[in-house]
Structure 1
Amino acid sequence: MTAVLGLCTLGLFLVLVMTNRVSVLAALVLVPIPFALIGGFGPDLGQHVLDGLATVAPTGIMIAFAVLYFCLMIETGLFDPVIRGILRLAKGDPMRITVGTAVLAMVVALDGEGASTFLITVSAMLPVYRRLGMSRLLLAGVVGLGAGVMNMIPWGGPTARAMAALDAGAEDIFTPMVPAMLGGIAWVLVVAWWLGRKERARLGLLEPDPGQAEGAAQGTDGRDGPDAPGAPGAAGRGGTGTLRVEAPQAIRAGAVRGAFNLLLTVVLIVSLVAEVLPLPVLFILAFTVAAMVNVPRWKDQQEFLERHGKSVVLVTTMIFAAGVFTGILTGTGMIEAMAAGLVAVVPESVGGLLPLLVALVSMPLSLVFTPDAFYFGILPVLAESATHFGIPPEEIGRAAILGQMTTGFPLSPLTPATFILVGMTGVSLGEHQRFLFRWALGTTLVMTAIALATGAISVSL
């Protein structure tokens, strides 16, 4: 009976989320309640919800302050030298420009937000690609590859969802995957180099106007008026047209504060990897210090929080809603009952391969499942099933983030950020998917191999 109720809960949740009948927030909170009441769990329902909220609270806190920290760093111009340096080093070489595009995408993606990564990176690089006649499909693909591998960071959507769904910390899900992620970054750079060489062979070595590069660093193309390529008024000539955004200028850091911000960010990242303190504590401290140095006045801090409060609220409310969903399903025993049913039909010989199987299908599943549907609906059942084969649930979480809405999100039609990417570059979704799929899958395969070699995931026969 409990397993049937769990399947009904999961099935209704997936249908509602994937058909957009209700918001994910509403589905996470409301769908499990009637089935829990039907199963007779009403008296303990409140406690199950509180238990679920308590488990995801550290994750929600970490994500909130991580988003605020990197938004502040972007506003202060911490990454501006990276953009200018890439454009200077490129010197009109399509190969260097392609590799620089990948590097820039991965640096900007540190804020954990795919949409802003696409907006900033494409705005900076599109004018250069236009000037040299480089392929916009190449631009979209390389930006997608860089952003995809960086989406594994613990304050990014997939890893945060995996931690919330499995009641695990970053040290359980993310830290063991650092070698695999570094391997994925190296793979992306190699792919960018390879694709850049092919583009160089097609175009030859060209030199952009100096003013063009400066305009790119500011997020513009150096031309004005309705006839400028990609301008809003030109949207019917290049397919979808392009969007343009300028980097926020509300907070700019001088040389001293810029050096401090760089040092603080390096210390933060080293502390995250070394697990000096729990991740929520590190980000609270880092953001507070950064805010005191860069926006010391309370009025300026309020304005900053107002600018980025929407992003924080959207992410954290989803995490706490997930706590309600997983708290009810776990407390009522639905997940355990569904997992027992799944174990009963899975051959013993296949059970030991579960982490590898999840890793291999994780990237293609980005085309089928939204991140919420997979991580909050499918992953807990897979993880609970794995425990019956002696596999830690965290290992299934690590396998999932090897591709599910990490390497796969830049080509998934289920994420709005994908349409920002193809819209800004002016390529069709179909072309983009055909170009990017094999390279994104390659990233997953490389990271899977490294994860197996380092023991982050394992197989047993």
Structure 2
Amino acid sequence: MLTFLSYSMIACFMYLIMSKRLSPLVALILVPIAFACLGGFATQLGPMMFDGVKMLAPTGIMLTFAILYFCMMTDAGLFNPLIKLILRLVKGDPQKIVMGTAVLGICVGLDGDGATTYIITTAALLPLYRRTGISLQVMATVLLLTIGVMNILPWAGPFSRAASAMHVDITELFIKMLPVMLAGLAWVMLAAFYLGRRERRRLGVIDIRHDEILEQLTEFHPGNWKFLFNAALTIGLIALMMLNVMPLALLFMIALGLGLLVNYPSIKEQKVVLGKHADNVLAVTLLIFAAGIFVGIMSGTGMVKAISESLIHVIPQSAGHFMSVFTALISMPFTYVLTNDAFYFGVLPILAETASHYGIDAQEMAIASLIGQPVHLLSPLVASTYLLCGLLDLDYGDNQRASILWSIGTCIVMFIAAVVLGSITVLN
């Protein structure tokens, strides 16, 4: 009964937001409450929901200060040299702009963090997209595809979870995973080429060599001490993030305080800057805390456990020799409906134990489990996707419909690459 309730709730949630019958905020709060009541958990809802909100609170705090920090740096002109360089290179060609989006996303995404990549890339390219008329959904899709692959770097969450759950060496796993990731990035560039070419056919090439975009950019001087301070602060922030010196929320809080003090020293200026970006912050953080309700109820009612157990029960004994293939394929839907923690620490060890009886080692299972990460980014449980939609003012359901097939394509390409390279075995 609980398994049926779990799958029904997820199906109902997706239908309501993709059909636009409910907003993601309302659906994240009300749908799990309704299904929990149907399951007889009405009297236990309070503690469940509060536990979920507490679980996602650090993420909500981090995104609040991260958005404010990068928006402040954009206003201060930190990214203007990058914007001007991109303008000189792409020259108003939509195809070059979209492919440049993918390249920039890959470069910024080296820190493995989707939120940072989205904020920096949109800050650099959004004026260009608006001036040329390129669909903002194209930007969102390309960035989701990019982070879907870059999110598998060793210092990102999914990779470390898979390595820990399978007790395999991170370096050896990364060496095996790297060619698979490169295949995924090749697909991302191909997708960007296609989407860009489609936009070029629709819009043509626009002359922006003397466009008002350049005129509107804040003037800066490379030797200006504030510009150098902002660059050093941002580079230091990203370095500390990668070194995991302290929680991200605290790093962004400190960086925002220092940035405001130097760039906007008066209290009045600080209020103007913070107020200017309050809408973006509120739109994202409301969704994060609402997602806490969803996560808390799924965990507290046992729906996560029910979904995991149902997966194990449907695996036939005859499929044992293909357990890594099976894991790669189900990693797409199951990392979509489950958190990474639930999948890698709850489901994967059970699958790996079964696979070991058929001679499939833990490293192969770890690789297989990471194949579905590009689809995971479209999950309603992923905070950074809400941020991306908020930054680009896109409907969450529309973004899912536009991006899902491209994300599945990334997974398929990486799966084929893993099979060809022998990282996943399909023949005994």
TM interval, short-chain normalised: 0.5 to 0.7
Q: Secondary structure at the match of 2:48?
A: helix
Name the residue aligned to 1:284. 253
Once the 2 structures are TM-superposed, how far is the Cα of residue 188 of structure 1 from its aligned partner? Answer: 7.8
Paired residue for 1:201? Answer: none
Q: Deviations over 1:368-403 (max 9, x none)?
A: xxxxx9845798986654453248999998544324
Distance 1:274 1:381, change over 3 A: closer
Aligned equivalent of 2:21:
21
* Residue 389 (structure 1) aligned with residue 351 (structure 2): yes
Displacement of 1:19:
2.1
Counterpart of 1:32 in structure 2 is: 32
**Structure 1 length normalisation: TM-score?**
0.60
The Cα of 1:311 is off from its aligned counterpart by 1.3
- Deviation, structure 1 residue 72: 1.4
Give the whole-Å Cα distance in 1 for the aligned partners of 2:426 and 2:347: 15
Aligned partner letter, 2:294: F
Q: Which structure 2 residues correspond to residues 382-461 of structure 1 after superposition, within 5 A?
A: 384-390=346-352, 399-404=371-376, 441=409, 445=413
Give the conservation status (yes or no) of the 8 Å contact 1:52–1:326.
yes
* Offset, 1:10: 2.7
- Counterpart residue type for residue 4 of structure 1: F
Return the match for 1:272 from 222, 225, 241.
Answer: 241
Q: Distance in 1 between matches of 2:258 and 2:392?
A: 36
User: 1:30-429 alignment to 2 at 5 Å?
Assistant: 30-88=30-88, 102-103=102-103, 121=125, 123-124=127-128, 145=142, 148-150=145-147, 172=161, 183=182, 187=186, 212-215=208-211, 217-218=213-214, 255-347=224-316, 349=320, 350-358=322-330, 362=332, 375=336, 384-390=346-352, 399-404=371-376
Letter in 2 for 1:145: V
- Cα 1:40–1:253 shift into 2, 3 Å: farther
Deviations 1:384-433 (A, max 9, x none): 54453248999998544324557xxxxx9xx9799989xxxxxxx9xxx8
Instruction: Flag the 1:169–1:256 CA change in 2: closer, same or farther, 3 A.
Output: farther
Give me the identity figure in percent: 28
Task: State the alpha-carbon separation in 2 of the partners of residues 277 and 459 from structure 1.
Answer: 42
Q: 1:174 to 1:122 in 2, by over 3 A?
A: farther
Cα distance in structure 1, aligned partners of 2:425 and 2:28: 31
Looking at secondary structure, tell me which structure has more helix per residue.
2
- Do the aligned partners of 1:126 and 1:216 also contact (CA within 8 Å) in 2? no
Give 1:9 deviation, angstroms. 2.6
TM superposition score normalised by structure 2: 0.64
CA contact (8 A) 1:355 1:395 kept: no
> For the structure 1 residues 257 and 111, does the alpha-carbon distance in structure 2 shift closer, same or farther, using more than 3 Å as the test?
farther
Which residue of the partner structure matches residue 226 of structure 1? none
Equivalent AA in structure 2 for residue 388 of structure 1: I
Q: Secondary structure at the match of 2:288?
A: helix
Letter in 2 for 1:303: V
Displacement of 1:81 in angstroms is 0.6
| 1:321 Cα deviation from its structure 2 partner | 1.2
**Matched residue SS, 2:374:** coil
C-alpha change, 1:47 and 1:458, in structure 2 (3 Å) is farther
Q: Name the structure 2 match of 1:369.
A: none
Letter in 2 for 1:333: G
> How much is the aligned-residue C-alpha RMSD, in angstroms?
5.7
Q: Confirm or deny: 8 A CA contact 2:148 2:375 kept in the other structure.
A: no
Q: Secondary structure of 2:211's partner? A: helix
Q: Distance in 1 between the 2:83 and 2:64 partners?
A: 26
Structure 2 residues not aligned, in runs of 5+: 165-169, 198-205, 354-361, 379-384
Partners of 1:90 and 1:97 within 8 A in 2: yes
Question: Structure 2 CA distance, aligned partners of 1:95 and 1:122?
Answer: 15
Distance across 1 between alignment mates of 2:43 and 2:53: 18
Instruction: Report the 3-state secondary structure (helix = DSSP H, G, I; strand = E; otherwise coil) of the residue aligned with 2:277.
Output: helix
